[in-house]
Structure 1
Amino acid sequence: MTIEILEKNKCTGCYTCYNACPKNCIAMERDHEGFSYPIIDKKKCVECGLCEKACPILHKVVVKTNTTTPDIFAAWSLNDTIRLNSTSGGIFSEIALSFLEKGGYLCGARYGEKHHIEHCVVNTAEGLEKIRQSKYAQSDIGYVYRDIKKLLDNDQKVLFCGTPCECAGLRNYLRKDYENLTVVDFVCRGSNSPKVYEKFLEYLEEKYQSKITKVWFKNKTYGWNRFSTKVEFENGQSYLEDRYHDKYIVGYIRYNLYIRPSCAHCEYKTFPRVSDITLADFWGIKLDNPELDIEKGTSLVMINSLKGKNLYKNIERGIFSERKTFSDAFGGNACISTSPIMNPKRQYFFEHLDTMTFDALTKKCFKDKWTVRIKQRFIQIIPLKLKNWIKKAIKQ
């Protein structure tokens, strides 16, 4: 039976209860949509309540020392290799390298066996390369919260990067603030189903008649604004489609077809953030000098704590950085504070996921009325317009 302490559609799949259980009687099992949920073995359970106490939805995390008005910057690494091989401007890599130089550890998502997305702990530059870049499906956290606690208790420095709910889960699991822990989250649009991601890869392997050797989301072959999905195969062929034509990204960004149910009402799109630093792509960026090249990738950086501020100062020599405002940030990033709207065809999509190919199913679900597209855009814009109106009214 499923764990009874939380409504299923509110569960974020953050693995916090899984890590918190002292008897290891909680398993994370996929449902028909491919999302993992906690399953409890009643025979092993001693009813200690630690899983309930650790849940970041039942017990919302608020970091009181974090600011409600973060410092905001547009930034990128001055190292072109790092910048081009990163999702946006390479700021996470610069932060991570500063940790590695001090003997610290990094925790983030990587592609594991068969391109399965999972969190891991690394402490080398080679390890950093594996956790760099976006992975557009929900990551398997496993027991990394436990691994992180062991490192922190042994006075090791740790940098954790994850979705806002994963960052909140880690903080609840640890049950105290560690000076040697730095938490980085990102502006999250929602976690995609691992099952859908696997179906997409399966479709590509069938199309190219070869096994996949590498998956690279947000590849910059066509530039940062027109980012692409690149997949390489054993037979030497490669798949490359930009954000407007890659069916997996279109289904995610335009149609909201396969995000986790809880992502439609995210509890952590608020301020203060649960992280020390929040990162994102700085969509719609306008720099003081318009001749600067933003097409290699530009990061949105929000500094939420004193710890984050000090860390950012440590990397300033190796980055371009320009201070920006709240309205600059919200202009192209509505998901800072707004959850995506579930597509009405989402249920149909998952009902047919096991019987139709990814290609055929997306063709069926990508047809929508122009009124739906306008409504989705309207819902995203209005909260931003309202925020800007409130700010102007306060200043008057």
Structure 2
Amino acid sequence: MIEIKDKKNCCGCWGCVTRCPKQCISMREDEEGFLYPVVDTAQCVNCGLCEKVCPVINQANPQEPLSVTAARNIDEIIRRQSSSGGIFTLLAEEVIKEGGVVFGARFNDHWEVVHDSTDTIEGIAAFRGSKYVQSSTGDCFIKTEQLLKQGRRVLYSGTPCQIAGLKRFLQRDYNNLITIDVICHGVPSPRVWQKYLNEETAHLVSRRKYFRPFGNDETRIVGIAFRDKATGWKQYSFTLTFSKADRENLCYRKTREENTYMQGFLSDLYLRPSCYHCPVKRLKSGSDITIGDFWGIEHIMPHLDDDRGLCCLMVNTERGQNLVNSIDAATHEASYKDVARYNPALLHSPKIPANRVKFFAELPKHGMLRTTQRLTRKPFVQLCRNAIHKTLKKIGLR
């Protein structure tokens, strides 16, 4: 049976929970806000299926893609709404046009991140854009299996560990399944995310700029963007959008360097323990397609760099290639080496920060905002250097 003795050995994919024939495994939240499987030993029959589907126990070999391109959606509106180049939308639309179903991560009514499905073009919008929180998979693996057995075409998108978990859960290859994973930096704690939202909005209320953003019909959060391109693709911003009955929508926007949640995320402060020992780096998930930001494009193909977002599109299987061939996108041939050079998350896990234990110890007492700001504060000398660099850049000396 599954027994989590070291939390780095569970990526929280839900595969064991959904495969258990006795339904005696449940997911429980730990003190950091991550979900882990817990077995009811009184009901367990030791069939071993939970271990057979675990992507940590059963790791695949590293792969290299069949092809790599720099790609973007030619629809500039969709591209602007996407985190990078808008390629996911094109792939999802193609599957839905053929009567298929698309699975992806979206926000629920409480701004938690969950996995869900859609069979409409309009439904794809909820899956668009990065969500830097671990999503709850729930029963999506079961629904996917049911749809596949019915003969429906399914596109399942997620993090590499979620895709690996799905493939292990299914235990067979389906010709009508397409899997897409993303180049993943790591997944933050859902509890930390909720604490951030509650504290940030309370702070905004105290400044009397926004009023009762949660649970009030007059003023509420209507949009969250982790990667708002209003300040550019490379220097993206985090944005909360509020709706107020008697005035235009209000936007709270800060660059990734200024926003506290993004500071903690990019400092690897509250990622899931398994993310520091990721079992599916180097394309080990078995996905058909891998997508991500084509960072470094200004050095590789500067003529493509318009700072509006560009995908690296890596095709890993013939099935993935057939889907990519069916979409109308602007593509330029690239190399796996170039992608890996400027997007190291493709190959390497983040290092555990020295302050991680201190962060979760101080979080209950001092709160998310104060704890993160203190533990990610840059040295005074570095702040001075950054200020000088920005000034020189503005006046054209850098």
- For the aligned pair, the TM-score class normalised by the smaller chain equals 0.7 to 0.9
Q: 1:353 to 1:172 in 2, by over 3 A?
A: same
How far off its partner does 1:32 sit? 0.6
In structure 1, what residue type is equivalent to 2:29? R
Task: Assess if the C-alpha contact under 8 Å between 2:161 and 2:285 holds in 1.
Answer: no
Distance 2:11 2:200 in 1: 29
Structure 2 residue 69 is matched with structure 1 residue 57: no
Deviations 1:214-239 (A, max 9, x none): 21110111111111111122444321
The aligned counterpart of 2:277 is: 265
Number of residue pairs the alignment of both structures matches = 366
The aligned counterpart of 2:348 is: 338
The aligned counterpart of 1:249 is: 262
Distance 1:146 1:126 in 2: 24
Task: Assess if the C-alpha contact under 8 Å between 1:218 and 1:229 holds in 2.
Answer: yes
Which region of structure 1 is more displaced relative to structure 2, 98-107 or 225-234?
A: 225-234
Distance 2:301 2:33 in 1: 46
- Provide the TM-score with structure 1 as the length reference: 0.88
Distance 2:322 2:239 in 1: 36
Structure 2 residue 367 is matched with structure 1 residue 357: yes
Deviations 1:311-333 (A, max 9, x none): 11111xx2110001123212210
Q: 1:361 to 1:68 in 2, by over 3 A?
A: same
In structure 2, what residue type is equivalent to 1:218? R
Distance 1:292 1:149 in 2: 40
Structure 2 residue 321 is matched with structure 1 residue 309: yes
Task: Assess if the C-alpha contact under 8 Å between 1:272 and 1:304 holds in 2.
Answer: no
Q: 1:5 to 1:137 in 2, by over 3 A?
A: closer
Deviations 1:366-386 (A, max 9, x none): 1356999xxxxxxxxxxxxxx
Structure 2 residue 113 is matched with structure 1 residue 117: yes
The aligned counterpart of 1:366 is: 376
The aligned counterpart of 1:13 is: 12
The aligned counterpart of 2:126 is: 130
How far off its partner does 1:37 sit? 0.3
The aligned counterpart of 2:136 is: 140
Structure 2 residue 47 is matched with structure 1 residue 38: no
In structure 1, what residue type is equivalent to 2:125? E
How far off its partner does 1:260 sit? 0.6
Task: Assess if the C-alpha contact under 8 Å between 2:59 and 2:284 holds in 1.
Answer: no
Task: Assess if the C-alpha contact under 8 Å between 1:72 and 1:324 holds in 2.
Answer: yes
Task: Assess if the C-alpha contact under 8 Å between 1:61 and 1:172 holds in 2.
Answer: no
Task: Assess if the C-alpha contact under 8 Å between 1:136 and 1:192 holds in 2.
Answer: yes
Task: Assess if the C-alpha contact under 8 Å between 2:8 and 2:276 holds in 1.
Answer: no
Q: How does 1:173-188 map to 2 (within 5 A)?
A: 173-188=169-184
The aligned counterpart of 2:289 is: 277
Structure 2 residue 191 is matched with structure 1 residue 195: yes
Distance 2:381 2:185 in 1: 22
- Provide the TM-score with structure 2 as the length reference: 0.87
Distance 2:358 2:78 in 1: 41
Task: Assess if the C-alpha contact under 8 Å between 2:2 and 2:51 holds in 1.
Answer: no
How far off its partner does 1:289 sit? 6.7
Task: Assess if the C-alpha contact under 8 Å between 1:72 and 1:323 holds in 2.
Answer: yes
How far off its partner does 1:9 sit? 2.1
- The alignment's C-alpha RMSD in Å is 2.2
Distance 1:346 1:193 in 2: 12
Distance 1:39 1:359 in 2: 31
Q: 1:114 to 1:273 in 2, by over 3 A?
A: closer
The aligned counterpart of 1:106 is: 102
In structure 2, what residue type is equivalent to 1:110? R
Secondary structure in 1 matching 2:11: coil
Distance 1:280 1:292 in 2: 16
The aligned counterpart of 1:214 is: 223
In structure 2, what residue type is equivalent to 1:252? F
Q: 1:4 to 1:25 in 2, by over 3 A?
A: same
Distance 2:330 2:254 in 1: 29
Unaligned residue ranges in structure 2 (runs of 5+): 206-211, 214-220, 383-398
Which region of structure 1 is more displaced relative to structure 2, 337-346 or 38-47?
A: 38-47
Secondary structure in 2 matching 1:92: helix
Task: Assess if the C-alpha contact under 8 Å between 1:273 and 1:304 holds in 2.
Answer: no
Task: Assess if the C-alpha contact under 8 Å between 1:219 and 1:228 holds in 2.
Answer: yes
How far off its partner does 1:278 sit? 0.5
Distance 2:381 2:23 in 1: 49
Specify which of 214, 219, 239 is matched with residue 252 of structure 2.
Answer: 239
Distance 2:279 2:271 in 1: 15
Q: 1:371 to 1:5 in 2, by over 3 A?
A: farther
Task: Assess if the C-alpha contact under 8 Å between 1:88 and 1:224 holds in 2.
Answer: yes
